[in-house]
Amino acid sequence: MRFIRESLNLRKIAVNIANQITILRIFISLLCMGLILRFSLASLILGFLLFLLASFTDFLDGYIARKKNKISDLGKLLDPLADKVLTIGVFLSFLEKGIVNSFLVILIMIREFLITGLRLFALRQNKVIAAQSFGKHKTLTQIIAIIFIFILIIMEKTLTKLGISWSWFKEFRKITVFLIMVWVAGVTLISGGLYLWKNRKIIKSL
Q: Are 105 and 177 in contact (CB under 8 A)?
A: no
- What is the domain partition of the chain in residue ranges? 2-205
The string of DSSP codes covering 160-172 is HHTT---HHHHHH
pLDDT for the residue numbered 100: 98
Q: Does domain 2-205 have CATH number 1.20.120.1760?
A: yes
pLDDT for the residue numbered 71: 64
Q: Encode burial over 166-196: b for 16+ CB neighbours within 10 A, e otherwise.
A: eeeeeeebeeebeebbeebbebbeebbebbe
Q: Are 13 and 32 in contact (CB under 8 A)?
A: no
pLDDT for the residue numbered 31: 98
**For residue 14, is pLDDT > 70?**
no
pLDDT for the residue numbered 8: 43
Q: What is the pLDDT of residues 72-103, one digit of tens each?
A: 667 667 888 899 999 999 999 999 999 999 99
Q: What is the pLDDT of residues 132-162, one digit of tens each?
A: 677 788 999 999 999 999 999 999 999 999 9
Q: What is the pLDDT of residues 162-200, one digit of tens each?
A: 988 888 999 999 999 999 999 999 999 999 998 888 878
pLDDT for the residue numbered 13: 45
